Structures are given as structure tokens and as C-alpha cells.
Homo-oligomer: A and B are copies of this chain.
Amino acid sequence: MKDKRVTINEIAAHAGVSRSTVSLILRGSGRISEPTRQRVQAAISELGYTYNRSAANLRTQSSQAIGLIINDLTNPFFTELTAAIEQTAERRGYFVYLVQSGEDPDHQHKLSLSMVEHGVAGLIICPATGSHPETFERLRTLGIPVCIAVRPWPDDRFDFAGPDNFRAAHMAVDALIEHGHRRIAFLGGERGNPSRDDRLAGYFGALQKHDIGFDETLVIESRPSRTSGIKDVAKVLALADPPSAALCYNDFVAISVMHGLRQHGLQPGQDFALIGFDGMPEAETSFPPLSTVFLDARRVGANAAHMLIGRIDEPDRPVSRSVIVPDLVLRQSHKAS
């Protein structure tokens, strides 16, 4: 039925010109006369020709594909990031190969190599916690453009696009302190995750600035999920001197902390102040509406895509970093006496 796909050769034969001529026309060269151009166009639509971009790419050593490696698409922050990357890539003539590493460094390593085999023009990577240095080393020696996104990676020879986690956490804790809180918990996130380390540092910084002593029982570590906050908040509520407010590692944690608070008879945003992190869409429609640090995943994504494509176009440009200063979005959940 489908036989073979019709190629440039059939078009050439059918239109009575050479293969080269057809190729030139396809690429919109002006060096071909109008009559022949029309003859070829006629042949194209008559035979139902479709361009084989991979063949062209093989010849020209180019590619319109960029690879995107994220941990988990299901996290709304990464969803927004991905959506933005796809959109700006598409607008600039690129397609994106999407893969999820599942926070597994080995898998991430294999995926990155596999993408290179598939001939991507460049790669955007959100490094998995515990990423192997060899992964990036290999990409560097291969000379393929890479943009690190969201989570910093200790190698300043790569472009980077991400939020300023330190400052974001600092702002949030500042706001809590201004509302009169002195005992402020930091809930959720796992040690070794660079984003969390930065957020924690911002949290400490703000406490220090206001001469509030550091109490390590107020920092709860846990793998963040849609339910993890329930246990996290229970732990600090059980303390002899419980906190009156908390900064959460992300909005998932914050929303589940709200449920946890209610289980203890406390109304979030009334009996306990809460600020989340990320600014994912559902923070706005939670009850009560969640105050949070808006990291603007879409902007991060757009920047990452632009930076990568910029480097693809111009491989030797100087390394650049785009660090976005987040916005503190105060809604209801941070209000409490």
C-alpha cells in the first residue's frame, strides 16, 4: 500500500530536472527560474512528496531537536518549565525530546548519551540529585551544547537558568518575621538537593539577620510529596515549644501541611502561618489560598531554551547565567498572629 516514500529523485525525474535543482527549490533558492520552480512544485504536490529532514540533517551535520531531561513531569513546577521550553523551542524551529530521569543519576546518564546518539543539537538538563560528574564531563568533551536548568551544578563552564532560591527563602522568612513570628519551621525536602540547600541557607540568613537563634528541631527533612507535609508538621507540633509559622520546601508540602494542621485542630492562615515555595498554579486555588514564593517556572524555561539555542547558533559565546529573582506572593495562608 504505502510502498516506498517518494523522494527527491522521483520528483526530479517526474519534473524532468536534476536532483540538485529540486533540492535548491525546496530550500527556496532564488537561483532557479520561475517556470522550472512551478514545474517542480507541481510534481511535488502531484506525487505527495514529504521532505526527509533526517537525511538532510545527516548531510548538513545539523539538527532541529533539543533534548530535555527532567526528573518528573508530574511536578507542576516541571510541567510549567517543560511547557515553556517546548513553546519557545517550537517558535524558534526546534522540537523537544522529552525524557524523565526519575531522579536516578544512572538513568540520567544513559538518557543523556542516548539523546546524543539520536543527534540532538543541544540538551537542557535539570540535574538529578546525586548526578554523576562524568555525565557532564562526557557531554563537555563531546562538545554538545548544554544548558543546566533549575538546579545549579558546580561547573561554571555550562550555561545556567534557574531561580534564586537563597533570596526567595530569605524574602519569605523576612515576611514571616515581620508578621511577628519568631519560631519558624522549615518543612520538607531532602538533604543533598542543591535547591533545598540554597533555600535552607536563605532561611538561616533571614533568621540570623533578625537575631533569631537557630533551632535544628525546627528543620524537618523528608521526601516531598502531596502528603508528606502532614507528618512533617506533626513533628514540629509535638515539640515542647512548637513553631507558629513555617516555610515549606515546596507547595506540595505546604498544601499537605494545611491538611495536617486541620487534623490538629488548627486553621492554616489563622492559627498558623504558612508560606510555600514554587508558586504552582494550584497554590492559588487551594483553601485557604496559599502564600508562596513564585519561582516563575515558565520564565526559567523560556530562558533556558533561549540560552541553549543561542549557544547552538554560536558555540563559542561566553558562558552565561540567568538567575531569576522570585516574587513573594502573599495570599491568605501566611496570615496568623
Interface set of A (CB-CB < 8 Å, partner B):
1-2, 5, 48, 50-55, 57-58, 63-65, 72-74, 76, 79-80, 82-83, 86-87, 90, 95-100, 113-119, 141-143, 226-227, 255-256, 258-259, 262, 281-282, 284-287
**A118-B95 contact in complex given A58-B55, A143-B2, C-beta closer than 8 Å:** yes
Q: Which of B79, B97, B142 contacts A73 (CB 8 A)?
A: B79
- Check A226/B284 contact, CB under 8 A, given A54-B118, A99-B95: yes
How far is it, in angstroms, between the C-alpha of A96 and the C-alpha of B256 when the chains are bound? Answer: 33
The residue from B82, B113, B282, B284 contacting A98, defined by CB atoms under 8 A apart = B82
Q: Which of B48, B97, B117, B286 contacts A287 (CB 8 A)?
A: B286
Q: Report the minimal beta-carbon distance from A249 to chain B, rounded to whole angstroms.
A: 16
> In the complex, are the beta carbons of A226 and B2 less than 8 A apart?
no
CB of B74 within 8 A of CB of A98, answer no
B113 A50 Cβ-Cβ under 8 A: yes
Given contacts A86-B100, A119-B52, contact A281 B73 (CB under 8 A): no
Nearest-CB distance from A282 to chain B (Å)? 5
Known contacts A48-B142, A54-B58, A54-B118; 11 further A-B pairs (Cβ under 8 A):
A2-B143, A50-B142, A55-B58, A65-B97, A72-B83, A86-B99, A86-B100, A95-B97, A227-B285, A256-B285, A286-B286
Given A83-B100, A98-B82, A100-B83, answer yes or no on A143-B1 (Cβ-Cβ < 8 Å): yes
User: Can you give 9 contacting A-B residue pairs, CB < 8 Å?
Assistant: A53-B118, A54-B54, A54-B57, A58-B58, A73-B82, A86-B99, A226-B284, A285-B286, A286-B287
Q: Which of B118, B143, B286 contacts A64 (CB 8 A)?
A: B118
Q: Known interface pairs A79-B73, A226-B281. Does A54 touch B119 (Cβ–Cβ under 8 Å)?
A: yes
Q: Give the CA-CA distance A50 to B259 in the complex, in Å.
A: 51
A51 to B117, Cβ gap below 8 A?
yes
Residues of B contacting A142 in the complex (Cβ-Cβ under 8 angstroms): 2, 5, 48, 50
* Cβ distance A103 to chain B, nearest Cβ, rounded Å: 14
A116 to B51, CA, bound (A): 9
- Report B-chain residues with C-beta under 8 Å of the C-beta of A64: 118
Within the complex, the shortest CB–CB distance from A272 to chain B, in Å, comes to 15
Closest 3 CB pairs of A and B: A2-B143, A287-B287, A73-B83
Contact status B99-A97, CB under 8 Å: no
The minimal Cβ–Cβ distance linking A73 to chain B, given in whole angstroms, is 4
When distances are taken between beta carbons in the complex, the residues of chain B under 8 Å from A83 are 72-74, 100
CB <8 Å contact, B65 and A74: no
Residues from chain B with a CB closer than 8 A to the CB of A99 are 86, 90, 95-96
Q: Which residue of B lies closest to A95 (CB)?
A: B97
